[in-house]
């Protein structure tokens, strides 16, 4: 018996096994209404094993760093840019659970400028 509605929400998607992807496509997707919501910090396009989820319909050449959303081959991608955090708009951090200028400076000091 299959459920009429199934929503799979996966946080830290790039860190999860591809087995989740194949299970979703082969088994879970046969439910009447199925949706996968994947959340994660994606790096360079060729370093991610989960790149298939975010690949634009027109290929990677069809998007740029300023785009915040695009249609993918399997759905829709929303790109939330940490450099546009609401905390960057205020002199003091307004929200404790999202990126701050201090977090970003510490991150870059430890990992380098290109490791956003």
- Number of domains making up the chain: 2
Structure tokens given for 85: 């955090």
Claim to verify: residue 98 and residue 58 sit in the same structural domain: no
90-106 confidence digits (pLDDT tens): 777 888 888 888 888 88
Vertex 94 angle, CA 93 and 95, to 5°: 100
pTM of this structure: 0.66
Measured CA distances, 67 to 46, 60, 70 (Å): 19, 12, 8
Range of the domain at 35: 5-80
Q: Which stretch of 20-34, 41-55, 60-74, 78-92 has the lowest confidence by average pLDDT?
A: 41-55
Claim to verify: residue 14 and residue 57 sit in the same structural domain: yes
Claim to verify: residue 51 and residue 90 sit in the same structural domain: no
Claim to verify: residue 29 and residue 71 sit in the same structural domain: yes
């Amino acid at each position: 018996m299959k459920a009429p509605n199934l929503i799979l929400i996966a946080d830290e998607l790039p860190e999860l096994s591809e087995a989740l992807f194949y299970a979703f496509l082969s088994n879970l997707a046969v439910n009447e209404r199925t949706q996968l919501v994947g959340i994660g910090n994606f790096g360079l396009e060729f370093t991610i094993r989960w790149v298939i989820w975010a690949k634009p319909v027109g290929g990677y050449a069809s998007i740029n760093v300023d785009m915040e959303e695009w249609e993918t081959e399997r759905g829709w991608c929303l790109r939330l840019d940490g450099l546009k955090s609401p905390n960057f708009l205020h002199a003091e951090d307004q929200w404790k659970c999202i990126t701050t200028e201090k977090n970003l400076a510490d991150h870059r000091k430890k990992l380098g400028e290109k490791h956003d």
